[in-house]
Amino acid sequence: MRILVAHHVPRARNGGMSRIMGFIHDRLVAAGHRVDYFCAEDVPRGMNGRLSRFTFPMLVRRHAVRAARSGEPYDIINIHEPSSAAVSLSRSAAGNPKIVVTSHGVERRGWQLALEELRLGREGPSLKTRLTAPLTILWQAKLGLRRADHIFCLNFEDRDYLMRWLKLSGEKITRIYPGASQSYAAVAESRSYDKVGQLLFAGTWLSRKGIKEVVAAFTTLAATHQDLKLCVLGAGMPDELVLDYFPTDIRERVSCIRSRNDDETAAVLARSDIYLLPSLFEGTPLTLIEAMMSGMPVVTTETCGMKDVIQHNGNGLLVPVRSPETIVAAIESLMEERALRARLGRQAHLDALENYTWEHVALSVQKAYERLVEIDNYRK
């Protein structure tokens, strides 16, 4: 198979989306398939910014059409949901590839949640965004999803939502997962559960990631646990902007760290004792799988992909969304009971080893691709 992966993110594997797509498709390359990437760097200077919401999809379409005209059409084009309309409308000019739309969190669901945040008086979209998002992102995502040959999504809530909203068959949707490398498994082998000195929040510092709950919970915990620290990994913004969210008297106990690769991320996880992610909206977070693989006890919200992979009191603790008090109680219980920390962390590690290696998670992607191409060949 000849596959094009088109996601408007940097080619370097620093973010969750680029890493998930890259590491999964590495396994397809190893299986003998050809994979090309069309990424943010392929957008010429001057066509970025807000215009890229239109220019990137059109450039992907042009790339696919040129490949077809050169006699090397793609069998599969895997394109991110917000950019999927243009190529799905032009498949004949591109040699009739199968269009697979990947959603890392259904755009319409995320938008509805953002508006709910606004109604609750929390941090929601600006007036400008409320006017532009439906005109630039949401219609493209909906059209691409409707016309896709197949859809990859990252949690069962998204799958069920798509089936209800667009009246799709479950056979048209594959729920895919992130994986984790052996760097994180090695951390589990030497992890000690003797004390809790550092909490870890790993992810972009965004409202939908539950950052208000992180701040509120850590502020409460810091008042009674004088040695407790918080690490914010991969915030995606200057340190001072993150620290401004916290009361001045505890800012020195908050560290902001960036990592360049799995080994550096694994080293941060090795120094941390409890993983906290109180997101309101996600696909399935890559950092959650990495924390599980590292044997770290997890506290996360009972929504989206988190509740697919975490069984409450089995391999982690689930809390309601927008509930810093429950987060505090969950972390307190872990801090008080070494046996609980060890049991949950070790089970999370075993579950990740069994279900969330890159080799394992790539199989469902490969099977979906092969099924699409086989059906197409049969029809021909």
**Claim to verify: residue 309 and residue 343 sit in the same structural domain:** yes
**Claim to verify: residue 171 and residue 56 sit in the same structural domain:** yes
Task: Please state, in angstroms and rounded to a whole number, the distance separating the CA atoms of residues 368 and 380.
Answer: 19
Give the total number of structural domains in the chain. 2
For the chain, give the mean pLDDT.
94
For residue 51, pLDDT over 90 is answered with no
pLDDT of residue 215: 98
How open is the CA angle 284-18-157, to the nearest 5 degrees? 20
> Which structural domain, as residue segments, surrounds residue 64?
2-179+358-379
**Claim to verify: residue 160 and residue 135 sit in the same structural domain:** yes
pLDDT tens-digit map of 270-292 = 999 999 999 999 999 999 999 99
Q: Binning pLDDT at 50, 70 and 90, where does residue 301 land?
A: very high
For residue 376, pLDDT over 80 is answered with no
| Burial call 358-368: b when 16+ CB within 10 Å, e when fewer | beebbeebbeb
**Claim to verify: residue 23 and residue 112 sit in the same structural domain:** yes
pLDDT of residue 355: 96
Give the count of beta carbons closer than 10 Å to the beta carbon of residue 237: 12
**Claim to verify: residue 108 and residue 171 sit in the same structural domain:** yes
**Claim to verify: residue 190 and residue 323 sit in the same structural domain:** yes
**Claim to verify: residue 20 and residue 102 sit in the same structural domain:** yes
**Claim to verify: residue 200 and residue 338 sit in the same structural domain:** yes
For residue 190, pLDDT over 60 is answered with yes
**Claim to verify: residue 193 and residue 331 sit in the same structural domain:** yes
Q: Which among 161, 149, 150, 155 is positioned nearest to 175, based on CA atoms?
A: 155
- H/E/C letters for each residue in 285-297? CHHHHHHHHCCCC
pLDDT of residue 377: 62
pLDDT of residue 194: 95
Q: Helical H runs in the chain? A: 16-30, 52-69, 85-89, 107-119, 127-133, 139-147, 156-166, 182-190, 211-224, 239-243, 262-270, 286-293, 306-309, 324-336, 338-355, 358-379
Host H or E run for residue 201? strand 198-202
pLDDT of residue 14: 84
Question: Quick one: tokens of 99?
Answer: 């269009």
**Claim to verify: residue 267 and residue 197 sit in the same structural domain:** yes
**Claim to verify: residue 364 and residue 324 sit in the same structural domain:** no
For residues 348-369, give the mean pLDDT: 96
Q: Is 99 left (phi over 0), alpha (psi -120 to 50) or beta?
A: beta
**Claim to verify: residue 233 and residue 161 sit in the same structural domain:** no
Q: What is the CATH number of the domain that holds 117?
A: 3.40.50.2000
